[in-house]
A = this chain, B = another copy of it.
Amino acid sequence: MQIVFLFYDGMTALDAVGPHEILCRLPGAKVYRAALHPGEIQTDSHLVLKAEISLSDISHADVLLIPGAGNATSLSKQPEILKWIRSIHATTKWTTSVCTGSLILGAAGILSGLKATTHWAAFERLKAWGAHPTHLRVVEDGKVMTSAGVSAGIDMALILTEKIAGTQFAQSLQLGIEYDPNPPFDVGSPEKANPDILKGLKARMVARFENLE
């Protein structure tokens, strides 16, 4: 069970670390944190993660996970990464993304004709890649599983764990990380948010994604 996380400068740490905490515990899992240039990866919160292996040293994955980035850089400037994603996707049992990681899958041509999701502020952007944006926290279409913003990767990883290792094992992992969420507010999605807060955040966030090349 080879599980590969794509790491890249500007990525959102929690997008990767949430699912990582779960998927690394899959039976027989061999987990790789891979980047175009291995070494220190600067996340968008200034936390530094390490990628131990080069993309060129990974030729297949059972599970591929692409995290998102709060300030997505131009996707068209990452042709080597997109090409690598396409080649690995051809070998996967599951190709997955968290948050705006789905924009990267889209740019790689993987979401054409598929139902998919992303961070709510990047939702419309998915259409440009031929995807059918779908308002669910986790969206599965064939072997492609995409999840909503940042924290949704935890839910996705548990769903994926159930598919790979069964219900009992997935429940054991959920109990292990004591995932019995109790957010202080019920405002974590656009539908539930205070309209003024949503408007303010939207004004700041949507522009980051809508003109992405």
Which of B14, B48, B152 lies in contact with A49, CB distance below 8 A? B48
> Other CB < 8 Å A-B pairs besides A49-B50, A174-B185, 5 of them?
A20-B47, A21-B45, A50-B50, A137-B180, A150-B178
Which chain B positions have C-beta within 8 A of A172?
197, 200-201
Report the interface size for chain A: residues with CB under 8 A from the other chain: 64
| Contact present for A21 and B197 (CB under 8 Å) | no
Which chain B positions have C-beta within 8 A of A31?
45-46
| Contact present for B201 and A187 (CB under 8 Å) | no
CA distance A137 to B177 in the complex (A): 12
Q: 25 interchain pairs (CB within 8 A)?
A: A13-B21, A14-B18, A18-B18, A40-B50, A48-B49, A120-B178, A151-B154, A151-B179, A151-B180, A151-B181, A167-B185, A168-B194, A168-B197, A170-B185, A171-B187, A171-B194, A172-B197, A174-B187, A175-B189, A175-B201, A179-B181, A180-B186, A181-B181, A181-B183, A181-B188
Tell which of A74-82, A124-132, A155-163 binds the partner.
Answer: A155-163
A85 at the interface (CB under 8 A from B): no
Shortest A186–chain B CB gap in Å is 8
A65 at the interface (CB under 8 A from B): no
| Contact present for B183 and A155 (CB under 8 Å) | yes
A210 at the interface (CB under 8 A from B): no
Q: Assuming the A-B contacts A24-B45, A50-B48, A158-B183, are A178 and B170 also in contact, with contact meaning beta carbons closer than 8 angstroms in the complex?
A: no
Which chain B positions have C-beta within 8 A of A115?
none
A182 at the interface (CB under 8 A from B): yes
